[in-house]
Amino acid sequence: MQTTARDTLNHLLATDPFLRETLVLNQEPHNPNNYDEAYAFEDDASENLSRAKSLLATYNRYAKKLRKHNLTATKIVLKALKDQAYAHKDRLIDPLPHYGAPTLTGEPLQLTSTLQVQAGSILQSSACFWIRPNDLAQARIVKFVVGQVEAVNLAEGYATVRTSDGERFTLQPLGRTDTALLGCDGQSLEVPILPIAGATLEEAEHKHAHDTRLQAFIDYLQTSVEKYTHPSVSSMYYSHARAQYRPTFDHAPFSGNPETLEEEYAHVESVCTDFYRDGGLLDQLIDTTGQKLDAALKAYRQELQR
């Protein structure tokens, strides 16, 4: 069966990603802001001829609007991302020149399938208890981040752990990898438990603060780029956001090294400038896609007029 000009045009409308991002917005079902100008040409020749004459103008109008919106959003978002990244960087602390090891005494307790603890062991986790005694005025939030084992009770199978602010917890084995049962004032939580470097609680807390702040910095850079290059269109405010109207990067633009942040952001800004400049990558993509659409529409109009 011979492929018609209408078949070719419908295939282009159904498969070209840039064309579809320009002509289609599908948000939540029944959202009044939804539109679809890339629907297939069916059997109504009169309607099809009229639409075939106007669709290129519709494409150019939408492309101009989306280009303007995404350029403006890029400037706003990049500044916000940069400000937040530098705020994360400002919270970083230098590691200590050396982290020692604690002095361990007494019999070991197999706390997890991969971890034995003794009196003196220093551990890290992430847990928070809301302690509510009968007198609500004495209610408090208790956190366990880094703690040192004070004693091991092998007979009853638990370890007592103290934090630097004087809070005490119990840790009981669950027979699982990297998790144990953390208890405080009659409450308990299953939490991840890992060793941490440091000869003292102070050293270990410094290590934990350094590692978590650096990881937060790295995570922020990774997620900020993802949110920028794959913008959400799930709300009316972002209804003009399009991934095809944003620059792409051949590799992750941020290494997570605070020392190279300024240089890497300069590169990101340079890529964005090249993408949006007059006659740049986005304009070329708009023009190339428009030419493909124009050629398909002309061929279909000729087919209709035979």
pTM metric for this prediction: 0.76
In the chain, the N- to C-terminal Cα span, in Å, equals 19
Cα–Cα distance measured from residue 36 to residue 14, given in angstroms and rounded to the nearest whole number: 11
Consecutive 10-residue averages of pLDDT for the chain (306 residues): 90 97 78 83 89 96 94 87 93 96 96 95 87 64 91 96 93 91 87 95 97 94 77 56 86 90 93 95 98 97 88
Cα–Cα distance measured from residue 276 to residue 70, given in angstroms and rounded to the nearest whole number: 9
pLDDT value at position 84? 93
Cα dihedral 78→84→90→96 (10° resolution) = -100
pLDDT value at position 1? 66
